[in-house]
Amino acid sequence: MARGHHRETKGPSQRQLRVGELVRHTLSELFTRGDVHDPVIQGHLITVPEVRMSADLRLATIYVMPLGGRNTEEVLAALERNKRFLRGEVARGVNLKFAPDIQFRADERFDEAERIEKLLRTPRVRRDLEDGNEVANKDKDE
């Protein structure tokens, strides 16, 4: 960068975060109002937990999850079929020089959280956690 300024790229910029949030709100409102005339999309409650924007704001990766996680592949296919309409609505709802390309992904954070929860409940991990608590309590007493 000019004038000796160095920026570390550790995470998204404030602008990326702000635009991603605007895209998320725009899509959430479309789904809530039922503006997408597709029987699959209208038949599901779809949450949009996150939108990640590329550094140049030309690509929006939209993470979606149908309520209960049911029929995820079917919902993703319906969103792909309606991508052109959705991109146009995002362009109207978010004031950018270029309408970002959009791609849809299933939000897998819930599955990952459930996997971790199951691991924490296994006897081996519970035993290790209990042993760790006993050691910590023993150290406090001394």
Q: What is the pLDDT of residue 28?
A: 93
Question: Residue 1 falls within a domain, yes or no?
Answer: no
Provide the pLDDT confidence category of residue 101 given band limits of 50, 70 and 90. Answer: very high
Q: Residue 142: pLDDT above 90?
A: no
Measured between alpha carbons, how far is 9 from 11 in angstroms, rounded to an integer? 6
Cut 0.95: pTM above it: no
Domain count, the chain: 2
The identity of residue 66, as a single letter, is P
Q: Of 12, 72, 13, give the one whose Cα is nearest residue 45.
A: 72
Domain match, 89 and 121 both: no
Domain match, 85 and 118 both: no
Question: Residue 16 falls within a domain, yes or no?
Answer: yes
Question: Residue 2 falls within a domain, yes or no?
Answer: no
Question: Residue 28 falls within a domain, yes or no?
Answer: yes
Mind listing the pLDDT tens digit for each residue in 75-88? 999 999 999 999 99
Contact 51, 100 (CB under 8 A): no
Mean pLDDT of 96-107: 90
Domain match, 54 and 100 both: yes
Token match 């550790």: residue?
Answer: 10
Locate 127 and state its tokens: 């035993």
Backbone dihedral region of 101: left (phi > 0), alpha (psi from -120 to 50 degrees) or beta?
A: beta
Query: Could you tell me the residue range of the domain that residue 136 belongs to?
Result: 108-142
Domain match, 92 and 22 both: yes
State the pairing for strand pair 59-66/101-106: parallel
Q: What is the pLDDT of residue 116?
A: 74
Question: Residue 4 falls within a domain, yes or no?
Answer: no
Percent of the chain with pLDDT over 70: 82
